[in-house]
């Protein structure tokens, strides 16, 4: 009989009580640490979150990484001045210290141009050209989902010599190289210092995070989601704000509890 995941309040308590000396923290960004915006370029990162992540990285001896579909250069802009360990592009990029390692070959200029033409053909579609993939967001024009699927299929058919696959997300479709995913990148990361030997804790929210959920048992880790129900989860948070609350408590430990006790 499968154990039911902890609901929001219990998930907050469970995560907040983790031992920083024993764990590695892995976080998706959009829909997990921060709320989704109208487009990937219209989001807000609270200053308190930057402070919390900096402190969590310190108390875990650097074993904290952002695991995102965004390119690492965009992650750095979003969280400036922080430069954390990161997996970008759904596993196409990895940075542990300073340099970024590419784990996937680039898509051709021709394929990327044909995919990106969706923005001109259907205003409201937002293009993220990452080089090794192209993400097409239709949050502002959800009525164009079927058209966009056909557009992508036509572009991929016209470039049948290139190995690609389509990764669906929240009001987003991304064309990328096969066998590149967050889960395999996390496996690689967990073999490296300072992550090696620690228990990974991952929080994600989307179908793009399921590859990480799937590898957590093999790594002896725990997986949490934000709203999404997936087999094997340790807990489910109601919102990114609840995730931030749990992380703030974990970062501040007894200081937080003592502050609550002050009348």
| Nearest-angstrom CA–CA distance, 245 and 52 | 10
| Nearest-angstrom CA–CA distance, 243 and 16 | 10
| Nearest-angstrom CA–CA distance, 43 and 203 | 19
| Nearest-angstrom CA–CA distance, 171 and 183 | 21
| Nearest-angstrom CA–CA distance, 235 and 98 | 33
User: 149 exposed, middle or buried (CB, 10 Å; 0-12, 13-18, 19+)?
Assistant: middle
| Nearest-angstrom CA–CA distance, 78 and 18 | 27
Give yes or no: 30 in active site.
Answer: no
- How close are the terminal C-alpha atoms of the chain, in Å? 44
**Which is catalytic among the residues 19, 21, 28, 161?**
28
| Nearest-angstrom CA–CA distance, 112 and 129 | 7
| Nearest-angstrom CA–CA distance, 14 and 121 | 48
CB 205 within 8 Å of CB 11: no
Within 85-207, strands assigned E span: 85-88, 93-95, 100-102, 126-129, 133-137, 165-169, 172-176, 199-204
Which residues are catalytic, by number? 28
């Amino acid at each position: 009989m499968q154990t039911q995941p902890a609901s929001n309040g219990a998930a907050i308590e469970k995560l907040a009580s983790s031992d920083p000396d024993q764990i590695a923290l892995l976080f998706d960004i959009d829909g997990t640490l921060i709320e989704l915006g109208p487009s990937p370029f219209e989001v807000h990162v609270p200053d308190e979150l930057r402070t919390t992540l900096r402190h969590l990285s310190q108390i875990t001896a650097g074993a904290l990484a952002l695991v995102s579909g965004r390119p690492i250069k965009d992650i750095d802009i979003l969280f400036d001045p922080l430069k954390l360990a990161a997996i970008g592009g759904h596993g196409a990029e990895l940075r542990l210290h300073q340099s970024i390692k590419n784990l996937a070959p680039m898509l051709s200029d021709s394929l990327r141009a044909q995919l990106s033409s969706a923005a001109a053909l259907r205003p409201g579609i937002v293009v993220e050209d990452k080089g090794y993939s192209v993400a097409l967001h239709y949050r502002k024009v959800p009525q164009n989902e079927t058209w966009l699927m056909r557009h992508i299929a036509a572009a991929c058919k016209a470039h049948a010599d290139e190995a690609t696959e389509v990764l669906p997300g929240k009001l987003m479709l991304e064309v990328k190289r096969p066998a590149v995913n967050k889960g395999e990148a996390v496996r690689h990361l967990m073999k490296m210092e300072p992550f090696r030997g620690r228990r990974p804790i991952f929080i994600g929210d989307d179908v793009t995070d399921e590859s990480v959920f799937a590898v957590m048992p093999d790594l002896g880790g725990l997986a949490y989601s934000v709203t999404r129900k997936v087999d094997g989860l340790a807990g489910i948070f109601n919102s990114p704000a609840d995730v931030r609350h749990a992380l703030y408590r974990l970062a501040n430990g007894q200081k937080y509890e003592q502050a609550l006790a002050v009348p």
